[in-house]
């Protein structure tokens, strides 16, 4: 049995209540959308094209502003785009991971330590001096994650990060994110179309027509969606 969407989740790191969003002159994308992600867990967000998944994620990241409703997020937020080329801006791996720390005005020794710790966490420390253009798609996504880790983000938002990856890189990335969640106490919300990725999650939401219509254990939700195929 799939749980109904509810907000009584204990210690939520992400809480959305009655969120509404409409593009100027267009239809409403989100309609009284509500969800809650428990702190320190890895949840996934599913739905068909046009259901509002990416819009919801951008609202959570502060890239868009809702017309009404409430968003409450505990801690600093990191956002990982579907295409990492849209967010990797520096010429080398180490420089890119350090780029997000500029606004924090940290001393150079601390910046170097944070960069090394973040790259070690995604198992790419040996690539610190490598040019960004020389990386694979999976490595670029891990560098994007390292940038968020270096900033000490407590909440990570992923907008279909495996959509452009081959199956091996896909499995490697989702597995690594799960390990980071469990080892570091990070909270993650991951948008996906790939039902096999649900196996790595603690829970999942199904978004339809701008509303969360089911939430909870990923296995019943996976079976429900497989019957539709």
- Mean per-residue pLDDT, 174-179: 95
Which residues make beta-bridge pairs with 201? Answer: none
Residue 136 pLDDT > 80, yes or no?
yes
Answer yes or no: are the C-beta atoms of 147 and 97 closer than 8 Å.
yes
Distance CA 132, CA 134 (A): 5
Answer yes or no: are the C-beta atoms of 173 and 98 closer than 8 Å.
no
Summarize pLDDT for 205-219 with one digit per residue, the tens: 999 999 999 999 998
E strand map for the chain: 12-22, 28-38, 42-46, 68-73, 77-80, 155-159, 187-191, 203-208, 211-216
- CA angle, 60 as apex, 55 and 65 as ends, to 5°? 70
Domains and CATH numbers, the chain: 1-74+195-229 (3.40.50.300)
Provide the residue count of the chain.
Answer: 229
Phi-psi sector, 133: left (phi>0), alpha (psi -120 to 50), beta: alpha
Summarize pLDDT for 143-176 with one digit per residue, the tens: 999 999 999 999 999 999 999 999 999 999 999 9
What confidence score (pLDDT) does residue 1 get? 35
Summarize pLDDT for 69-113 with one digit per residue, the tens: 999 999 999 999 999 999 999 999 999 999 999 888 899 999 999
Summarize pLDDT for 8-31 with one digit per residue, the tens: 677 899 999 999 999 988 888 999
């Amino acid at each position: 049995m799939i749980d109904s969407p509810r907000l009584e989740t204990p210690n939520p790191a992400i809480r959305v209540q009655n969120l509404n969003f409409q593009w100027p002159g267009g239809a409403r994308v989100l309609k009284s959308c509500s969800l809650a992600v428990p702190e320190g867990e890895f949840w996934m967000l599913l739905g068909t094209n046009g259901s509002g998944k990416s819009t919801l994620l951008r609202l959570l990241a502060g890239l868009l502003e809702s017309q009404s409703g409430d968003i409450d997020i505990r801690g600093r937020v990191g956002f990982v785009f579907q295409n990492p080329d849209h967010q990797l801006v520096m010429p080398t791996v180490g420089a890119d991971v350090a780029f997000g720390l500029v606004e924090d005005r940290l001393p150079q020794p601390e910046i170097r330590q944070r960069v090394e710790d973040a790259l070690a966490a995604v198992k790419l420390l040996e690539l610190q001096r490598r040019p960004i253009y020389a990386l694979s798609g999976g490595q670029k996504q891990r560098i994007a994650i390292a940038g968020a880790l270096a900033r000490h983000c407590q909440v990570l938002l992923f907008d279909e990060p495996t959509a452009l990856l081959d199956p091996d890189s896909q499995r490697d990335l989702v597995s690594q994110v799960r390990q980071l969640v469990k080892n570091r106490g990070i909270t993650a919300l991951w948008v996906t179309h790939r039902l096999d990725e649900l196996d790595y999650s603690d829970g999942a939401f199904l978004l339809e027509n701008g509303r969360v219509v089911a939430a909870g254990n990923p296995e019943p939700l996976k079976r429900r969606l497989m019957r539709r195929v």
